[in-house]
A and B are shown apart, each in its own frame.
Chain A
């Protein structure tokens, strides 16, 4: 018998976890002598009350959707891909190369090709850890972490020595040609008398991210590959019995996972910076882990969790701007959310389960 209705597991558990994390965060804010209520109001005001705030929130959310999906799909195969950060960096390299060296007539074609390049580069970066895991048993957590550092070093080398325009001082590529610039929400939705999303970086790649959610959902629950990925995630011995090759599934899943992480770079490089800079990923690869944990590896959950983290990011920036609360506090809040949703999930789930069992007994 299932102990708890599915909706409670999917909605109540993360919700209570967030509340607990918020409560602890409030105590931390109190401890540094600020008012948690004011802080919350400021965050809500800065992130959700104006279209520009939304523009930032959705921009961050776009990153987190891609990296969250990256971690989530790997979770379904029981693989823990911590390498989203590195895969996104290398994905950015792919975007930069096609944008700089192919003369595109229109942004839509550029987006199509750059999406392919980003996914290909990201997948390529995940291939080696995947292969090492599948064939040699080298643990993917270790190898993907190491590959994050290698990716940073590779990107550093390429930017400084190969792609930096002559005479430029910072490790970044030349600006991309205008035809590759993605339309921002401001370009798309603002009218003459209503300058929506002014100055905010959210762009068309957000819709790509939402499409990716749908795609991953279809893949996981509606295709043969998804059936095999989940089967292997639940039981490798059963997969072998059914003629599913764990090596093949491990490699394919990691390719998809890395590809999704790589696609995050579309948002940061093509959508926002319009060139490739050194630290374009800004740790989004790691936030993806929290997003996937909180979203219970379900694309809809990932979407919602990514929005929450987008709000935390943008709200945190506002806090840093207007109060004495340092931006790092947001990292503390994120850490608390990860702690409560991931590591301490059972702390919330078990009492809830008891409550539901007791309720049902009383009802019957």
Chain B
């Protein structure tokens, strides 16, 4: 391995208006290694990568690629320097074939046929070399998310990238797909490619990287060899203080059934059946975790239960049937019945971003007579109540007059959580409670959810983060393709088994996977026995 770093950044700084997104960042990435960059949302990871890929121009600093200084002014220059990027949100043309997507923007000439033929050859060799097999003639819209990501990687390799940047690559993958991705990354490393992996998941950093750099508030706080560090240490470096990575909670004491969902069916605006007969039971004092890969009907289930999507089937709250279509099925009626809802996307659903914090603290409950004074709204009372809620939920800054969009993700989520929990709902639906939320806030939010459970409320937790499902749930249900594939006790299952269920396999196929699961279960049981004994 040579001593010249594949990428060296020297003193990179970048400000957006008054916000210093990157401050004097220097980093050396050695060739043939996987270098992790970890940090909370807003720490400046994405800005740094955007500078490296030519989307932004740094205010100060230098970029060196393989020892020579490069002026990367746009993505074309980045590609010319051998840098490829795999975005979190894929940039693929859905109704083009894989091959057409690969040559898009890198055609050899005005005629497509020669380009396509050459690409087909290159693709074949790449597929063999790196376990990157994709059917070149399939339309991208027919590919699974994992395969679409492979197309993105192939696009970069086709453009002869030696350095690959992956931005939160596992966010949309099943555990099995993520494992496959890591195998691909491992093969790429073996062939001498350099990989920059941006993530906020500590487990991934520990699993695959050689070196890891930690960012906090626009600065690079540390670069360490992965083998010499631990998740706890990394978390502390990210947040700046000691963090509890596990959730402390007593065993659940489930009471009577509060929410009963029976054979729920929902067809979306495009005529696609998104829920194909979902049945669930939710008891007082328990958290039911709904695991699944994004796009398998979780969002629709929350919308139906939350009262803004029509469905067939039956939902009973406290024994009372809730209308699923027509009058009385709207979100306001659900709230009145005692069903709170922290939506999956706080920016497009949970909050009105230009509204002030105090306006947002009654959003959805604004028709409550206690917020009215004659014909007008009692803004003074709402503001006073908001200030109180914000203090109790440690929203920072505690300024009720600030617009929601000016709060960080974690504090926005606290505003939503305060609003929904403070109404003391019988049942709380929570979608992706910690998506885009910093570690410090995650700890707080998880604690509040457990506290609500301990007050005897029922909680339906939808999350694509398996770690979160495991940390919080008293019971885990897995959804795939609009159906519940099964329920598991979190103490008696593992990521592998849930991963299979999330991929739609109810019965495990014969073969090494089953043995792997069995072996892991046995090891876990042994560990627990040791622990208790």
Contact = CB atoms under 8 A, between A and B. Distances in A.
Interface stretch (A241-249, A277-285, A334-342): A241-249
B353 A241 contact: no
Contacts of A238: 348-352, 363
Interface in A182-235: 218, 222-224, 227-228, 230-231, 234-235
A227 B363 CA distance: 9
B363 A231 contact: yes
Interface string A1-28: 1110000000000000000000000000
Contact of B366 (A3, A227, A235): A227
B376 A223 contact: yes
A2 B406 contact: yes
B331 A240 contact: yes
A227 B306 CA distance: 21
Contact of A1 (B17, B330, B367): B17
Contacts of B367: 224, 243
Contact of A243 (B335, B351, B406): B335
B353 A234 contact: yes
B376 A243 contact: no
B352 A234 contact: yes
Contacts of A242: 331-332, 363-364, 366
A138 interface: no
A218 B373 CA distance: 13
B255 interface: no
Contacts of A231: 352, 355, 363
A134 to B, nearest CB: 15
Nearest to B362: A227
A237 interface: yes
A139 interface: no
Contact of A241 (B17, B18, B333, B343): B343
Contacts of B330: 243, 245
Contact of A223 (B334, B359, B375): B375
A357 B349 contact: no
A50 interface: no
B307 interface: yes
B377 interface: yes
A107 B379 CA distance: 39
Interface string B344-378: 01001111111100010001101100001001110
Contacts of B331: 240-243
B272 interface: no
A362 interface: no
Contacts of B345: 237
A357 B17 CA distance: 6
Interface string B364-398: 10110000100111010000000000000000000
B529 interface: no
Nearest to B354: A234
Contacts of B333: 243
Interface in B1-38: 17-19
Contacts of B351: 238
A180 B351 CA distance: 50
B182 interface: no
B335 A227 contact: no
B341 A241 contact: yes
B341 A360 contact: no
A222 B373 CA distance: 10
B130 interface: no
A222 B377 contact: yes
A136 interface: no
Greatest chain B CB density within 10 A among A3, A224, A360 is at A224
Contacts of A3: 17-18
Interface in B439-467: none
Contacts of B372: 224
Interface centre among A231, A240, A241, by most chain B C-beta atoms within 10 angstroms, is A241
Nearest to B336: A243
A75 to B, nearest CB: 13
Contacts, number: 77
B17 A243 contact: no
B399 to A, nearest CB: 12
A23 to B, nearest CB: 29
A3 to B, nearest CB: 5
Interface in B315-341: 330-335, 341
A73 B327 CA distance: 28
Given A223-B377, A224-B367, A231-B363, A241 B406 contact: no
Contacts of A218: 376
B55 interface: no
A223 B376 CA distance: 4
Most chain B CB within a 10 A radius of its CB, from A2, A223, A243: A243
A3 B403 CA distance: 13
A245 B18 CA distance: 39
B96 interface: no
Given A223-B377, A240-B331, A242-B364, A235 B352 contact: yes
Contacts of B348: 235, 237-238
Contacts of B364: 241-243
Contacts of B349: 235, 237-238, 240-241
B241 to A, nearest CB: 25
Contacts of A223: 375-377
Contact of A361 (B18, B332, B350, B355): B18
A59 to B, nearest CB: 32
Contacts of B366: 224, 227-228, 242
Contacts of A228: 366
A238 B335 CA distance: 15
Given A3-B17, A224-B372, A241-B343, A234 B335 contact: no
B355 A243 contact: no
A235 B347 CA distance: 9
Q: Which of A230, A241, A242, A243 has the most CB of B within 10 A?
A: A242
B158 interface: no
Nearest to A241: B349
Interface in A224-276: 224, 227-228, 230-231, 234-235, 237-238, 240-243, 245
Contact of B377 (A224, A243, A360): A224
B385 to A, nearest CB: 15
A241 B42 CA distance: 27
B308 interface: yes
A361 B350 CA distance: 34
A241 B308 contact: yes
A1 B308 CA distance: 33
A1, A228, A353, most chain B CB atoms within 10 A: A1
A241 B350 contact: yes
Interface string A278-313: 000000000000000000000000000000000000
Nearest to A1: B18
A223 B367 CA distance: 11
A213 B249 CA distance: 56
A234 B355 contact: yes
A250 B343 CA distance: 24
A79 B476 CA distance: 44
A248 B341 CA distance: 23
B341 A222 contact: no
A227 B362 CA distance: 11
A222 B379 contact: yes
30 contacts: A1-B17, A3-B18, A222-B376, A222-B379, A223-B377, A224-B366, A224-B372, A224-B377, A227-B359, A227-B366, A230-B352, A231-B363, A234-B355, A235-B349, A235-B353, A237-B348, A238-B350, A238-B351, A238-B352, A240-B331, A241-B308, A241-B350, A243-B307, A243-B331, A243-B334, A353-B17, A357-B17, A357-B18, A360-B18, A361-B18
CB-CB nearest 7 A-B residue pairs: A243-B332, A243-B331, A242-B364, A241-B349, A240-B308, A222-B376, A237-B348
Given A231-B352, A243-B334, 20 more contacts: A1-B18, A2-B406, A3-B18, A218-B376, A230-B352, A230-B355, A234-B354, A237-B345, A237-B348, A238-B349, A238-B352, A238-B363, A240-B331, A241-B341, A242-B331, A242-B332, A243-B331, A243-B364, A243-B367, A361-B18
